[in-house]
Amino acid sequence: MSETKKCRLRVSRVFLAMGITVGTLFGADALRRSFDSQQPYNIKVHGDFRNSAENVETSTGRSLSYETSDVATTAFEGIKYLGYSEFELSKDDISKGILSIYTDKSPARASDQGQMVDLADEKNEYYSLVEEKVYLNEDATDALNRMMEAYANETGLADFIVYGTTDTFTGENSFCPQKFSESKAGYCVDLALNAYGNMLTYDGCDAEGWIVENCWKYGFVVRYPEGKKDKTGNEYCPWHLRYVGEVHAAIMANKKMCIEEYLDYLEQYTFEEPYSFTFNNEAYQIYSVSGDDDRLETRVPISGNYELSGDNRNSVIIMQKN
C-alpha cells in the first residue's frame, strides 16, 4: 500500500498572494481615478438646484417653489393653484356663448354658432316644424327633444310647433310677432301651437304653460320673462326660449333672474372666490373674468372639465365641474 502524501500550508505563499491582491486593487483604483479625470463633461443638466434650505424662495403668486423632504407626504403644501393652468381669453371669446347678450347694436353672427343640426332629421314625434329646414344648436336640439317628450308624457299633448330658430317670420299674420338679434347664434326656439289644424300664438297659459314652468329643467329659459322689461328691454315673450344649459338655467330659475340679472350677479365671483352650486348631485363652481384689455388671463382646470361663455359685454363666465 502506497503512502498518502500530506499537503502542508506554507505561510510564505499566503503572504505573497495577499500582497499581489492588495496591489492589484490599489492599481485598479488609481487607473479609475485617472480615467475619470480625463472624461469630457458632455452631460447637460437643466434647472436650478439648491444646496441648502436657506436658498428656498417663497411663492410670489405666479411662481411656485418646491422643497424636498425626507418625510413622506401626499400633501402639496404652499401650492395654491395645483391642478390649474393659465388661460388667455380674447375679445372673440367675450363676444359669443350661451350666455351672451345680443342687441341690435351688437347682434349675433352666424360665426357665433356652434354645431348646428337640421331639426327635420333630429326631432322626435312630440312636436312639429313649421317648415322642413329648421336649424338649431346640437345641444339645444337634444334638450328640446327631451323637454317635448316630458311635456307630452305629462299633459298627453303634442301640440307645439317650432315656428322659428335662427330666423323667424314676423310679417303680417305672424304667430311670433317679434324677432330678436340673438336668434342668429342658434340657441333660440320660437314656439307656436297647433290647434286642430290651425296655428295659434303661444301665450304660456293653460296646459301648455308647463313649458314656461319647467323648461329650466332642460336648460332653457324664457328669454324675456314676465315683469323683467326694465332689465331685458322687452315685454313678456313666453314663446321665445333661449338655451343656456341646465346648470345656468337652474340657478336663474332658483333666483328668479333673467340673463341680464344673472350676469350682473356673477360679476362679484372670481377664480379665488367662485360661486358654488350643486345640480343633480354634481358640484359646480362659477366665476367671472372681466376687463377692458384686448386679452384677459385667468386660470382653468388642467383636466379640461369646464365650460366658458362670453357675455358680449366685457366678461367671460367660466363654469367648472368639481
pLDDT attached to residue 71? 37
Domain assignment present for residue 239? The answer is yes
Average pLDDT value for residue range 160-169: 93
pLDDT attached to residue 25? 57
Cell 315656428 appears where?
A: 163
Q: Is the pLDDT reported for residue 26 higher than 80?
A: no
Q: Is the pLDDT reported for residue 64 higher than 70?
A: no
Same domain for 293 and 190: no
- Give the lowest-confidence range in 29-38, 73-82, 128-137, 291-300: 29-38
Domain assignment present for residue 39? The answer is no
Q: What is the CATH number of the domain that holds 322?
A: 3.30.200.180
Same domain for 147 and 87: no
Are 176 and 165 in contact by the 8 Å Cβ rule? The answer is: no
Which helix (H) or strand (E) covers residue 275, if one does?
A: strand 275-279
Same domain for 279 and 169: no
Q: How many domains does the chain have?
A: 2
pLDDT attached to residue 34? 47
Q: pTM, whole model, 2 decimals? A: 0.75
Give the CA distances from residue 58 to residues 46, 73, 294, 318, in Å, rounded to whole numbers and listed in that order. Answer: 21, 20, 32, 29
Q: Is the pLDDT reported for residue 1 higher than 70?
A: no
Read off the pLDDT band of 82 (50, 70, 90): confident
Same domain for 112 and 91: no
Average pLDDT value for residue range 205-223: 98
Q: Is the pLDDT reported for residue 128 higher than 80?
A: yes
Please list the helix, strand and coil fractions of the chain in percent, rounded to the nearest 5, in that order. 30, 20, 45
Same domain for 136 and 208: yes
The angle at the Cα of 229, spanning 224 to 231, to the nearest 5 degrees, equals 90
pLDDT attached to residue 293? 77
Same domain for 228 and 134: yes
pLDDT attached to residue 208? 97
Mean predicted lDDT score pLDDT of the chain: 81
Domain assignment present for residue 300? The answer is yes
Give the domain extent around 238: 102-243
Read off the pLDDT band of 171 (50, 70, 90): confident
Task: Mark which of 243, 268, 303 sits at the end of a domain.
Answer: 243
